[in-house]
Structure 1
Amino acid sequence: MKIISGALEIREFGLWDADQVAAFLAAEDRTALPPSSPEVVGDVDEWLAERVHQKRLDGQGVNLAIVEQASGEIVGSIGLRDVDWEAGRSEVGYGVRADRRGRGYATEAAGAVGRWALTSGGMRRVQLRARVDNVASLRVAEKAGFQREGTLRMADWDDGEAHDLAVFSMIATDLETAQVAR
């Protein structure tokens, strides 16, 4: 799977990414990697060869690299998780390297993956949840074309505290409305 959107290539991780993934782990910067990424550099090759693809192979989602086309650098990761094929529903999650934030990469990737999931990906609904105190993620969701639906009160637990989550969604009719507006 590969999506070209703006200045980004959004694609599956592969063995060709070993040096970049190892560098992130060596620098203890996991912000550009999905939650399933390895803990240590020695596990990078196995993860890239097998484990990163397991979610897709099991029909549970996909982990994708967000790559800056001009430089070939991985600037983040994005994925679909919690896939329910019968309901046609999944959730998008993403992370962008701290030194690449503020450039619109998360917005571009979230919108592109949401649109792909609703067209080629077989989904009817893609949702996104973000902590209500994470203003940057709230803006990403809105700018990417997701519609805010409400708040899940005290639904997230982080650092010994409960936090509210904003819930956003994108459905096929949102794409049709966006086309008409152009």
Structure 2
Amino acid sequence: MIELKDLCLDDGDRLYHWRRQPEVDRWMSPSPPADIETHRAWLEAFLADPNRVGWIIAEGGRPCGFLMLKGVTDLQQRAEWGWYIGEAEARGRGAGRAAQALGLERAFYDYALQKVWSEVLADNDAALKAQSAAGFRREGYLRRHVFKDGRFRDVALLAILAEEWKERRGPVLRNLQASGLIGKG
């Protein structure tokens, strides 16, 4: 079963380890932190910022990924979102699909956002497919927007509106519950 657990300082070393894995880093627009001290400073600033919220994605109580919203106090009621599955054995088994649904529930019902948006490297087919399956729609395309791995890369802009999630949520949540990926309630 997948759950979202509030991010805390104790998660720092785990996040640092995940973020430095080539299979995670290759799809992240910023470079991984140079050292653990830089990462800890980032995490402390993240946790102190009322405009950001983060969760550890846990599968059966074991941490397997990270999900965050940036902009939860924005006057426009929109927030940027990002997530990844850091544990290789959790990939491809529905953890990301379940985490997205739980994250959208939090975004739209706990934080009363009207829009959640993301930037995805345009060649990250898995993320584009996963976010599309969650209901995100492509809203734009930024050519040569991010310098990564020695070259400029394109970025797709994706978003989902509160009313779009409201239309999708019932069947999505029931399907995840029936498959044992999330609990009822």
> What corresponds to 1:67 in structure 2?
58
Aligned CA distance change for structure 1 residues 119 and 53 (closer, same or farther; 3 Å): farther
SS at match of 1:178: helix
Q: How many residues align?
A: 165
Aligned CA distance change for structure 1 residues 145 and 53 (closer, same or farther; 3 Å): farther
Distance 2:70 2:139 in 1: 19
Deviation at 1:78, TM superposition (A): 0.9
- Structure 1 stretch 134-143 or stretch 148-157: which is displaced more? 148-157
What value does the CA root-mean-square deviation take over the aligned residues? 3.4
Higher relative CO (CA 8 A, sep ≥ 6), structure 1 or 2?
A: 2
TM score, norm. by length of structure 2: 0.71
AA aligned opposite 2:110: S
| 2:68 maps to 1:79 | yes
Distance 2:6 2:57 in 1: 9
8 Å contact 1:75–1:100 — kept in the other structure?
Answer: yes
> What corresponds to 1:121 in structure 2?
111
Distance 2:147 2:42 in 1: 27
**Of 138, 141, 150, the match for 1:151:** 141
Alignment of 1:97-116 (within 5 A): 97=86, 98-116=88-106
8 Å contact 1:53–1:62 — kept in the other structure?
Answer: no
Structure 2 gap segments, 5+ residues each: 173-185
TM score, norm. by length of structure 1: 0.72
Aligned CA distance change for structure 1 residues 64 and 179 (closer, same or farther; 3 Å): closer
Distance 2:4 2:169 in 1: 22
Percent identity at matched positions? 25
Structure 1 gap segments, 5+ residues each: 1-6
8 Å contact 1:10–1:66 — kept in the other structure?
Answer: yes
**Of 4, 9, 22, the match for 1:10:** 4
> What corresponds to 1:21 in structure 2?
14
AA aligned opposite 2:156: A
